[in-house]
Amino acid sequence: MQHPSGEGGTVARYGTEHKEATRRRIIKVAGRRLKKDGLDGSGVTTLMADAGLTNGAFYAHFASKDALVAATITDQLQEQQALLRQLADEPDGFARFVRAYLSPGHRNDAESGCPSGALLDEVARSSPEIRRAYSAGILGVADDLATLMAPGAPGTGRRRALGCIAILVGTLQLARAIDDPQESEAVLAEGARAISALLATPEH
């Protein structure tokens, strides 16, 4: 294992970015699968098959399933952050975000939707590793959402944004769970009303 006289060290036989690209592909497809079938409902074999690989290759990329879940949650929340930053450049960005979040389309497509809406109570039961990843990620999301809510005062209102996230997530989950189309859409509408009500109250 030791190079007796050398410094050169490891020579990259594969292109340096090949492994990293594979890792990213695994994380991306795992995002969809985990949101669709849940953290406990998705097995390593299935997750790898989604990425076009077999189970054995998994542990060359991640130390454990929890490590993949943590990495995936971090990635998902960063993607959501990027979306919020993008909306910050558009007029009525916040209103458009809320409308899309509480839409029947988002309700019916958990696979490509908000990770919090799909997984929040499972995250709460998960290992510290996963909860740490979620906590750091959601605070970042909250900061960008706060900017979107009050473009004039950057850096303030993270906690108000967390309250807004709680409303959005709870509403989405309830609309998904209720097995009655009319009541489900009524829930989405009530969620939008709750957001408006929250915005109408003074900051603190």
Partner DNA sequence: CCTTTAGGATTACGACCATACTACAATTGG
Partner DNA sequence: CCAATTGTAGTATGGTCGTAATCCTAAAGG
Applying CB under 7 A, which of residues 58, 94, 97, 101 lies at the interface with DNA? 58
Distance separating alpha carbons of residues 32 and 120, to the nearest angstrom: 15
Distance separating alpha carbons of residues 187 and 175, to the nearest angstrom: 6
The SS3 assignment for 88 reads coil
- Burial bucket for residue 92 (CB in 10 Å: 0-12, 13-18, 19+): exposed
Site for its own copies contains 118 (CB under 8 A): yes
The one segment of 5-13, 49-57, 58-66, 127-135 that binds its own copies by CB under 8 A: 127-135
Residues with Cβ within 8 Å of residue 80, at least 6 apart in sequence? 114, 115, 141
The one segment of 75-83, 91-99, 145-153, 188-196 that binds its own copies by CB under 8 A: 188-196
Residue 177 CB, shortest distance to DNA, in Å, is: 20
Applying CB under 8 A, which of residues 62, 77, 117, 146 lies at the interface with its own copies? 117
Applying CB under 8 A, which of residues 5, 89, 152, 179 lies at the interface with its own copies? 179
Distance separating alpha carbons of residues 19 and 15, to the nearest angstrom: 8
- Residues in contact with its own copies by CB under 8 A are 36-38, 40-41, 110, 116-125, 128, 131-132, 134-135, 138-139, 159-160, 162-163, 165-171, 173-174, 176-180, 183, 186-187, 189-191, 193-194, 196-198, 200-201
